[in-house]
Structure 1
Amino acid sequence: MEAVLWQVLAGTRGGPNRARILRALDDRPRNANQLAEDLDLAYKTVRHHLDVLEENDVIESTDREYGAIYLPTDRTLNHWETIEDIIEQVD
């Protein structure tokens, strides 16, 4: 899991935005539209990053497609210290 976190949060240009999204979701679960508004990002950008995070089992969503709520997976929460280290280096 640590390698995956390093890749998605620090290994690509989109890492800083994914880190912001992950922090926001740790604060409270939200849908893509709420994240776009709260983080001042384009909706399509947020959707792309949510897809990357979900494909890598960093976040999970509710069953509903439209308005799905996203939150960190248990696996991600178990590695939160690593995430904080990565975010610190990305900032």
Structure 2
Amino acid sequence: MEKALWYLLTGTRGGANRARIVRLLDDQPRNANRLAAELGVDYNTVRHHLDMLVDHDVVEPGGDDYGKLYFLTDRFERHREAFERITDRMEPRDATDGVDTADTTE
């Protein structure tokens, strides 16, 4: 699991957003729409990150397809310390990682 966390969080683009998703799900289960709204990113971006996190057994879906909630897995919980160590070492990034914040108004 630790290798998967290194890959998901530091080895690919979007690692900061995946860490933010994990932290939000640690607070309480959420669906993809709510995650997108709270993170300020596109729904499809959140779905992509959730799919990667599901594929690596970090999160698991529960409930029906529409509006299904995502939860942290028991396996992740057993490796939480690795997640904390990795995120502590990540470079500080803008909270809007992956979001275009350019002001196009004049």
RMSD: 0.9
Alignment of 1:50-89 (within 5 A): 50-89=50-89
* CA displacement, residues 7-64 of structure 1 (integer Å, 9 cap, x when unaligned): 1111111111101101110111000001011111111100000000001111000141
**Residues 1:10 and 2:10 are matched in the alignment:** yes
Query: Residue 59 of structure 1 aligns to which amino acid in structure 2?
Result: V
Q: Gaps spanning 5+ residues in structure 2: where? A: 93-106
TM-score, normalising length: structure 2: 0.82
Question: SS in structure 1 opposite 2:7?
Answer: helix
Q: Could you tell me which residue of structure 2 aligns to residue 46 of structure 1?
A: 46
Query: Residue 56 of structure 1 aligns to which amino acid in structure 2?
Result: H
Larger of the two Rg values belongs to structure: 2
Query: Residue 13 of structure 1 aligns to which amino acid in structure 2?
Result: R
In the aligned structure 1, how far is the partner of 2:52 from the partner of 2:64? 18
Query: Residue 31 of structure 1 aligns to which amino acid in structure 2?
Result: N
Q: Percent identity?
A: 54
Q: Gaps spanning 5+ residues in structure 1: where? A: none
Aligned residues: 91
Q: Could you tell me which residue of structure 2 aligns to residue 26 of structure 1?
A: 26
- Large movers: runs of 4+ above 6 Å: none
In the aligned structure 2, how far is the partner of 1:27 from the partner of 1:72? 10
